[in-house]
Structure 1
Amino acid sequence: MGLNELAGKKAPKEILENIPKLISDYYVKVPDVENPAHMVSFGTSGHRGCASKNSFNEEHILAMAQAVAEYHLEKKHSQLFLGMDTHALSIPAHRTTLEVLAANGIKTYYAKDFGYTPTPVISHAILTHQNSDGIVITPSHNPPSDGGFKYNFSDGGPADESITKVIEQRANEILKNDLEDIRVMDLEEALETGFLVEYDYITPYVDDLKNVIDMDAIKVANLKIGADAMGGSGMAFYKAIKEKYDLNMEIFNDTPDFTFSFMHCDKDGKIRMDCSSAYAMAGLIDLKDKFDIAFGNDTDFDRHGIVTKSKGLLNPNHYLSVVIDYLSRNRDFDDLGVGKTLVSSSMIDRVVKDNGKKVFETPVGFKWFVKPFIKKEIFFGGEESAGASFLRKNGEVWSTDKDGIILNLLAAEILAKTKKDPGEYYDSLIEKFGEPVYGRLDAPANVEQKKALKNLKPEDIKQESLAGEKIENILTKADNGAAIGGLKVVTQNGWFAIRPSGTEDIYKIYAESFKGNEHLKQIQEEAQEIANSIFSNL
């Protein structure tokens, strides 16, 4: 996919989403149960879709909320924590969900004044209240047209496939049965039942931050911090953090704008709140010299984007390496390992080995880190897409979902305590371990093509070499035995992984080289040729 002419530029008015029409479509359009694209499908992080495309409408939310309600009751959970982000579709979906949960007699905690709640805050709430589960209404960093619905189990993390398959199948069964099994009541009536409880999510989370981040060190250093709320669900949280810990922090883009008109376009010309994209983050990058450290988040605040004076927007892989090294040396996590996805940089492997620890490599999806966190096998789990979490200072679990807030605050702690921003810190790792070159390419793929990529087998790769080097390994399963949902090819000095997106009509090629940019480019080109040959056989 080539670079769009709008990449990195302020979003023009003509591409802004028509919000009234989108909300109307949520209520008016209905899914065609004979069309697979209209049905509920839980990807790596819940169901995502668009009301205008008949894939995220009131009927979908009624069905998914009912399916979760039944699962919640079956597991005898005591309460459910409900959150939402600032996508336009989140508001009607949040209302619909409340109406179903109340009708099913489920004690549900929702934010004061029907406010916004970040994904990691829901995970934190579940873990600090016994026998709970949760729902987050969010499509993460997806464009303003999209909506999302995610279920978090009682371990606080994204539900694994054994759970989401049950919910997905039940929701689709409900859709096919013309919603006959739905229990629902009007919101005004629901609020009178006593099952819906207005809850202060902000205070307990913000007060607890001192147990996972050295907030005193940040305050004493008096760092000038830029916090770009990016119109997302953590706006009020940053305000509370600034006040509670008396930080020298400027917060901006801290009011809802459902069109996200303040954003700069991503590489494909779309508005996408991707805090790991230099194109989407161009506005904050332009301000880098104004702050000692700056950061942003995607819409549900589970991802982090670190902007430094030395490097601008820090590559997520670089920052993960920095965080792992820093935490290894500044926390008492001696007997614990590190979780990484198989498409994350091999620099992480070198850092982990240097610190005498073990790597747990998993498929893509943060859900794979939940059990290792709970079992105290890892102190850190992170994805190359800028999602990570880590343990409290005392070694107890903080969140088992991605937490962009603590990753951003940790960047300030690192600068305060080492006098190096994370970009400068990464330079010291390069001096020690060498410099890998990493890249990701996205290309269009339809449903049939994505299915073919997801079901690849090692024998489907006929090539014996990659970018001039002998292929040493072809992987379709990770260290834990779980399917990758794609394929990874490894040589002595490079690798690539190819997998379909779980949320968009694209596939992704991840690649890394230890021999420089030209070698990386060659790896990417040959990976693209492999994908094209697979598609040609369909």
Structure 2
Amino acid sequence: MISIVETTPYQDQKPGTSGLRKKVPVFQQKNYVENFIQSIFDSVAGYRGETLVIGGDGRFFNRETIQTAIKMASANGFGRVIVGKGGILSTPAASHLIRKNDAFGGIVLSASHNPGGPDEDFGIKYNVGNGGPAPEKITEAIYARTREIDRYAIADLPDIDLDETGVFSAGDMAVEVVDPVTDYAELMEILFDFDAIRALFSSGFRMVFDAMHAVTGPYAVEILERRLGAEPGTARNAVPLEDFGGHHPDPNLVHARDLYDLMMSQNAPDFGAASDGDGDRNLIIGKGIFVTPSDSLALLAANAHLAPGYSAGLKGIARSMPTSAAADRVAEKLGIGLYETPTGWKFFGNLLDAGLATICGEESAGTGSDHVREKDGLWAVLLWLNILAVRRQSLRQIVTEHWATYGRNYYSRHDYEGVDTDDANALMEALRGKLATLPGSSVEGLTVATADDFAYLDPVDGSVSANQGVRVLFEGGSRVVFRLSGTGTSGATLRVYIERFEPEPSRHDMETQAALADLIAAADRIAGIRKHTGRPSPSVIT
């Protein structure tokens, strides 16, 4: 039986960079989840009888929302739902399932790297048929519908047993509960030389992978330990927990500090890595060396040909605007296209679908390729392992040789989290107001060459995305970038990106913050960060 339930709209259901993210108690309000899911269905067409993929990162409220989504999918006429066992699906695995099964789309339940628990964060994101996040025209339609919705449809059905694989009935719709790891692991075996990586591990190579009690734990155990022969226990914190063990599942140098300290110690293994809440981000650390996400993108692109899935070469490289220009020089040397996009993986989808790019990356620890339409944390780790297995050098040797060839981009991101939204908006508006007067001015001994508010013209569909971040470029190639993040749930997060290019190898061993000191001071002077936020220093430096 199908019920048509009357409802009233909420006015705060505007999707951000990666879907709708709010605190759990917000989602637990009457009809809040139902309104948003129905608004998704009302904003797309042609799904009757089609397949919908549903899964999440296992955080608190994941299972309950999956049951609601299944019943609403049945009531709205979907023919089949595929869901991960236990409600678990990493975001890249969900993208792969959509593509492999020619699904109409998918509902991904995650707040990514944000904390989980009864009073923490939750999220709902809609992915389209190519496996990638919904483009802006769809998210805007969803938001418009949430502001006027007056009813939703839901089937009166018992809950599906999510802990048993198999095919079950939900009214006229089939629900297939699948192992969340198998299909993804088989894809990785196609892309990478598992024999070479097994030989690397059998030679005594040691690594640590911190799953942060998040979704990639089962994937890492299956792939790294069972299929590749890494020592048992290589995957740490590998059991997904609803609250991520009380920790913040963000693979950066603050929240993965234990891993960093281990890799900087005398007893460090050869390689360290971590992933985040939903499995789409990565942290890469070698013995005594941290690899920035921007450098990791450049190095992966320069060495991708060593893996079977990329042996034919790359079609192009795409990076988000705040990501350092390190990948630009790789693209130039390879003679392939380089695409600079706004932040948000959805902007890479058109480039990948059109065959213009093969590898993409964001400075916020996200890298991926055309194998799916999401960033993929474990994919990046496996590509690094493939490179290490073929080159048989330490990670430090590979990085320093790369810098000697291409130059080094000293790079850092300063986050000011939980800033009052009005204060953050005032800072950005003041910045935009002075863009015309900045060129030619001198700040902290640096001369401003150009300044703008980044706008992106999509080379595939011609769409324009404006106001994507303020860029201030200095003579000599240094720059600072300012933008507000769309991934938080409380207040605003101001992100400041600082970058200096250093071509001289003899100056590649400086401490990063010291190398950027004048640019950091210039950023504060130009934007008035302390004045607007009241913060003497960033919340997080990566």
TM-score w.r.t. the length of structure 1 is: 0.82
- Superposition map of 1:340-489 within 5 A: 340-390=319-369, 397-443=370-416, 444-451=418-425, 460-461=434-435, 462-464=437-439, 465=441, 466-476=443-453, 477-478=455-456, 480=458, 481-489=464-472
CA distance in 1, matches of 2:60, 2:18: 19
CA distance in 2, matches of 1:122, 1:279: 28
Partner residue of 1:115 out of 87, 92, 111: 87
Note if contact 1:63-1:172 (Cα within 8 Å) is conserved in structure 2: no
Relative to structure 1, the CA distance from residue 84 to residue 58 in structure 2 (aligned partners, 3 Å threshold; closer, same or farther) is farther
Secondary structure of residue in 2 paired with 1:441: strand
Structure 1 residues 129-157: Cα deviation after superposition (integer angstroms, max 9, x where no partner): 22521111000000221001111111111
The answer to whether 1:297 aligns with 2:275 is yes
| 2:51 aligned residue | 79
Partner residue of 1:274 out of 247, 250, 255: 250
- Superposition map of 1:95-134 within 5 A: 95-134=67-106
Note if contact 1:158-1:366 (Cα within 8 Å) is conserved in structure 2: yes
In the TM superposition, what is the alpha-carbon distance from 1:385 to its structure 2 partner? 0.7
| 1:531 aligned residue | 527
Note if contact 2:427-2:528 (Cα within 8 Å) is conserved in structure 1: no
Partner residue of 1:156 out of 125, 128, 131: 131
CA distance in 2, matches of 1:162, 1:77: 24
| 1:306 aligned residue | 284
Relative to structure 1, the CA distance from residue 398 to residue 406 in structure 2 (aligned partners, 3 Å threshold; closer, same or farther) is same
Structure 1 residues 96-129: Cα deviation after superposition (integer angstroms, max 9, x where no partner): 2223222223234343543311000011111112
For residue 127 of structure 1, what is the amino acid of its counterpart? R
Partner residue of 1:169 out of 144, 149, 153: 144
Secondary structure of residue in 2 paired with 1:68: helix
For residue 148 of structure 1, what is the amino acid of its counterpart? G
In the TM superposition, what is the alpha-carbon distance from 1:407 to its structure 2 partner? 0.5
In the TM superposition, what is the alpha-carbon distance from 1:334 to its structure 2 partner? 4.2
Structure 1 residues 155-206: Cα deviation after superposition (integer angstroms, max 9, x where no partner): 11111111111112212322xx4xx334353543895425232223322221
| 2:214 aligned residue | 232
The answer to whether 1:510 aligns with 2:487 is no
| 1:319 aligned residue | 296
In the TM superposition, what is the alpha-carbon distance from 1:470 to its structure 2 partner? 2.9
| 2:243 aligned residue | 259
In the TM superposition, what is the alpha-carbon distance from 1:216 to its structure 2 partner? 1.6
Secondary structure of residue in 2 paired with 1:471: strand
Note if contact 1:456-1:487 (Cα within 8 Å) is conserved in structure 2: no
| 2:198 aligned residue | 219
Note if contact 2:53-2:103 (Cα within 8 Å) is conserved in structure 1: no
- Structure 2, unaligned runs of 5 or more: 1-6, 161-167, 459-463, 503-509, 534-542
CA distance in 1, matches of 2:220, 2:313: 32
| 1:46 aligned residue | 19
| 1:21 aligned residue | none
RMSD: 2.9
Partner residue of 1:248 out of 230, 240, 254: 230
Relative to structure 1, the CA distance from residue 167 to residue 208 in structure 2 (aligned partners, 3 Å threshold; closer, same or farther) is same
Structure 1 residues 416-442: Cα deviation after superposition (integer angstroms, max 9, x where no partner): 111124343111122223322211112
Relative to structure 1, the CA distance from residue 108 to residue 181 in structure 2 (aligned partners, 3 Å threshold; closer, same or farther) is same
- Larger CA deviation: 185-194 vs 212-221: 185-194
Relative to structure 1, the CA distance from residue 349 to residue 405 in structure 2 (aligned partners, 3 Å threshold; closer, same or farther) is same
| 2:482 aligned residue | 498
Relative to structure 1, the CA distance from residue 90 to residue 207 in structure 2 (aligned partners, 3 Å threshold; closer, same or farther) is same
For residue 298 of structure 1, what is the amino acid of its counterpart? D
In the TM superposition, what is the alpha-carbon distance from 1:387 to its structure 2 partner? 0.8
CA distance in 2, matches of 1:423, 1:55: 45
Structure 1 residues 444-481: Cα deviation after superposition (integer angstroms, max 9, x where no partner): 43333444567788553233334433322223213645
CA distance in 1, matches of 2:315, 2:466: 24
| 2:187 aligned residue | 208
Secondary structure of residue in 1 paired with 2:469: strand
Note if contact 1:228-1:252 (Cα within 8 Å) is conserved in structure 2: yes
CA distance in 2, matches of 1:97, 1:166: 19
| 2:538 aligned residue | none
- Larger CA deviation: 238-247 vs 135-144: 238-247
Relative to structure 1, the CA distance from residue 367 to residue 220 in structure 2 (aligned partners, 3 Å threshold; closer, same or farther) is same
Note if contact 1:102-1:185 (Cα within 8 Å) is conserved in structure 2: no
Note if contact 1:338-1:359 (Cα within 8 Å) is conserved in structure 2: yes
Structure 1 residues 480-523: Cα deviation after superposition (integer angstroms, max 9, x where no partner): 45325221111223111111111222211111123675562332
User: Which structure has more strand as a fraction of its residues?
Assistant: 2
CA distance in 2, matches of 1:447, 1:234: 33
- Larger CA deviation: 292-301 vs 232-241: 232-241
For residue 446 of structure 2, what is the amino acid of its counterpart? E
CA distance in 1, matches of 2:336, 2:240: 43
Secondary structure of residue in 2 paired with 1:42: coil
For residue 482 of structure 1, what is the amino acid of its counterpart? S
Note if contact 2:424-2:532 (Cα within 8 Å) is conserved in structure 1: no
TM-score w.r.t. the length of structure 2 is: 0.81
Relative to structure 1, the CA distance from residue 512 to residue 57 in structure 2 (aligned partners, 3 Å threshold; closer, same or farther) is farther
Secondary structure of residue in 1 paired with 2:31: helix
What is the identity percentage for the equivalent residue pairs of Structure 1 and Structure 2?
24
Note if contact 1:339-1:360 (Cα within 8 Å) is conserved in structure 2: yes
CA distance in 1, matches of 2:45, 2:328: 42
CA distance in 1, matches of 2:108, 2:90: 8
Note if contact 2:282-2:377 (Cα within 8 Å) is conserved in structure 1: yes
| 1:522 aligned residue | 518
| 2:536 aligned residue | none
For residue 490 of structure 1, what is the amino acid of its counterpart? L
CA distance in 2, matches of 1:31, 1:428: 60
CA distance in 2, matches of 1:408, 1:193: 41
For residue 281 of structure 1, what is the amino acid of its counterpart? A
CA distance in 1, matches of 2:172, 2:272: 42
Note if contact 1:48-1:56 (Cα within 8 Å) is conserved in structure 2: no
Relative to structure 1, the CA distance from residue 314 to residue 75 in structure 2 (aligned partners, 3 Å threshold; closer, same or farther) is same
